[in-house]
Amino acid sequence: MLRKQMYINGEWVPARSGATVNIINPFDQSVIAEVPEGGREDAQVAIAAARDAFDNGPWPHLPAAERGEAVRRLADLIARDREELARLESLDTGKTVEESRWDMDDIAGIFRYYAGLADKDEGEVIASPVPDTTSVVVREPIGVCGQISPWNYPLLQAAWKLAPALAAGCTVIMKPSEITPLTAVKCVELCEEAGIPPGVVNLVLGPGSKVGAELSENLDVDLISFTGGIVTGKRIIQAASSNVKKMALELGGKNPNLVFDDCDFDLAVDYALNGVFFHAGQICSAGTRLMVQEGIHDRFVAALKERIDKIKLGNGFDEGTQMGPVISKEHLENVSNYVEIARGEGATVLCGGKRPDDPALADGFFYEPTLIADCRHEMRIVQEEHFGPIITVEKFSTEEEVVRLANDTVYGLSAGFWTRDPDRIHRVSKALRFGTVWVNDFNVYFVQAPWGGYKQSGLGRELGKMGLEEYQEVKHIYQNHATQEIGWFGK
Ligand code: NAD
């Protein structure tokens, strides 16, 4: 069993209260680690350290190329320790180790991208309308950043925040989910090895209601970056009003996948499955809401069922496992409740819809991959984010109808559609109100392109150049080279 600590001002420390908490493997509920359970006081000490490192330390003032070098060293260390990180991520989350390896490759790439971007900002010279003056716009680090991340992609989501913040010259307090802290701890060990100065990266472990709430409220935090659910996001918006913090919010999604009659049928089936069942559906951009045109609907549903019946559940470390458990007992109940709600609303559960019978899986938080047909768009299973291995299917007739229904949601994170008609591609990609729209693909993201949501799916964008700009203030500097007397007052 691992025993880990928090990292504040360059020191590995326990919680001030001495409290600890066990971290559980969702595959079999075994205890994999014991970590400190921090509280508000720990967060306050970490915020003070980050404040001091920003106000008085070297980091924000280093030449940007030097900061980029440090971030690049971190990328190299992540690549070096890829296997250890991937195994920790799978122990913590239950996802297959192969998926975790892909995550680690992405993460190293994210740090590399922002390392490269760190010294590419050339500012801007404005054509000043006043003679003999210069007017320039510069970007500066925003300051002390609280970074709160969720349990589904623990290190990936943390990296989306940490890499641009470091490249911009900010100082950081990381707060990973209390149930999946292990890769964040390892990443901070690597920050130390990469030579990032004390106080620049701090790590506080503990519950959102204490550590996360302190980061959101505290007057010394300049920006709060949060990835998680809408309900928590709304609490953070209120808390952050204390000092009008800058906010970057990546909230949930309920992502429609529209399949038109003229699509490539086999590819659309294949990607509909990939869009949902990775990490047991616990992906903010999962295409859990499938909408299929009437001409191919029945055949499409039958093809899905045939493949879903063969999905192999198991230990993420075993060769051949395609899907692991969900994250926790509470979440398993949540997922299971949603299926009961769908049954109650008149939908038809075609496969899954229960825990697996296999005794080898009895100790884990497993739920069978589930296909629910005969769904209507007003049903809760269609409108709400269940975050489980469930795909719902609605039948539609026309393009106009499906676009209207797909947009009729409070979420706006991502959507995809399948068609071979070029005019329809143009129309539908314009009409869908989502931050990312995939055409003849699903669930693709990369660090070069911005990621974020319309509507209640969030505020701001992560990744890409916009992801760096979230961590920068913009300053206009105006200089008069031939200042003349004005002589207006009292002359
Ligand atoms: P959550 O909102 O319960 O928790 C997220 C984080 O917020 C955790 O670290 C938690 O400790 C913290 N937190 C909880 N209460 C808090 C409070 N009052 N103040 C401050 N912080 C608090 O979400 P989760 O269950 O960990 O993650 C699942 C959710 O995350 C889903 O809704 C999913 O869609 C969303 N998500 C979104 C994206 C995206 O890119 N938009 C990516 C991944 C996950």
- From start to end of 370-450, where are the E strands? 370-373, 390-396, 414-418, 436-439
- Is 453 a member of any domain? no
Q: Name the residue with the closest Cα to ligand 1, atom 28.
A: 228
Q: In terms of C-beta density within 10 A (0-12 exposed, 13-18 middle, 19 or more buried), how is residue 190 classed?
A: buried
Whether residue 387 has its Cβ less than 6 Å from ligand 1: yes
Residue type, 403: V
- Do 165 and 268 lie in a common domain? no
- Do 15 and 145 lie in a common domain? yes
Ligand 1 atom nearest 253 alpha carbon: 34
CB 75 within 8 A of CB 115: yes
Whether residue 413 has its Cβ less than 6 Å from ligand 1: yes
Ligand 1 pocket mutation pick from 218, 232, 251 by most atoms within 8 angstroms of CB: 232
pLDDT class for 181, splitting at 50, 70, 90? very high
- C-alpha of residue 338 to centroid of ligand 1, in Å: 19
Known catalytic residue: 284? yes
Q: Averaged over 316-338, what is the pLDDT?
A: 97
Question: How many distinct structural domains can be found in the chain?
Answer: 2
Q: Which of 145, 191, 284, 375 is catalytic?
A: 284
- Do 23 and 130 lie in a common domain? yes
pLDDT class for 259, splitting at 50, 70, 90? very high
- Do 174 and 73 lie in a common domain? yes
Q: Which of 99, 214, 250, 399 is catalytic?
A: 250
Which H or E run contains 124? Answer: strand 124-125
pLDDT digits (tens, 9 = 90+) for 17-66: 999 999 999 999 999 999 999 999 999 999 999 999 999 999 999 999 99
Task: List, in order, residues 6 or more apart from 30 with CB less than 8 Å away.
Answer: 24
Q: Averaged over 137-144, what is the pLDDT?
A: 98
Q: Name the residue with the closest Cα to ligand 1, atom 11.
A: 208
Whether residue 111 has its Cβ less than 6 Å from ligand 1: no
pLDDT class for 122, splitting at 50, 70, 90? confident
Task: Give the bridge partners for 146, in sequence order.
Answer: 173, 224
- Is 491 a member of any domain? no
Whether residue 178 has its Cβ less than 6 Å from ligand 1: yes
pLDDT of residue 22: 98
- Do 221 and 284 lie in a common domain? no
Give the range of the structural domain holding residue 19, as residue numbers without chain letter.
2-251+461-477
Please report, for residues 9, 85, 153, 454, the alpha-carbon distance to residue 247 in angstroms, rounded to integers and kept in the order given: 24, 29, 20, 15
Positive or negative torsion for Cα 96, 91, 372, 419 = negative
pLDDT of residue 323: 98
- Do 242 and 312 lie in a common domain? no
Backbone φ and ψ for 371, nearest 5 degrees, come out as -115, 125
- Do 325 and 268 lie in a common domain? yes
- Do 194 and 338 lie in a common domain? no
- C-alpha of residue 432 to centroid of ligand 1, in Å: 25
- C-alpha of residue 229 to centroid of ligand 1, in Å: 5
Ligand 1 atom nearest 230 alpha carbon: 32
Here the contacts of 336-344 (C-beta below 8 Å, separation 24 or greater) are 336/367, 338/380, 338/381, 338/384, 338/386, 338/388, 338/390, 339/370, 339/372, 339/381, 339/390, 341/380, 341/381, 342/372, 342/375, 342/379, 342/380, 342/381, 342/392
- Do 93 and 239 lie in a common domain? yes
Whether residue 157 has its Cβ less than 6 Å from ligand 1: yes
> Helix crossing, 154-168 with 64-80: angle to 10°?
160
- C-alpha of residue 216 to centroid of ligand 1, in Å: 13
pLDDT of residue 491: 87
pLDDT digits (tens, 9 = 90+) for 261-309: 999 999 999 999 999 999 999 999 999 999 999 999 999 999 999 999 9
Kindly report the pTM of this predicted structure.
Answer: 0.97
- Is 486 a member of any domain? no
- Do 152 and 273 lie in a common domain? no
Whether residue 37 has its Cβ less than 6 Å from ligand 1: no
Whether residue 284 has its Cβ less than 6 Å from ligand 1: yes
- Is 90 a member of any domain? yes
Pairing between strand 289-293 and 2-3?
Answer: unpaired
Average pLDDT of the chain to the nearest whole number: 98
Whether residue 365 has its Cβ less than 6 Å from ligand 1: no
- C-alpha of residue 130 to centroid of ligand 1, in Å: 49
pLDDT of residue 41: 98
pLDDT digits (tens, 9 = 90+) for 184-220: 999 999 999 999 999 999 999 999 999 999 999 999 9
The CATH number given to whatever domain includes residue 360 is 3.40.309.10
Q: What is the DSSP letter of 58?
A: S
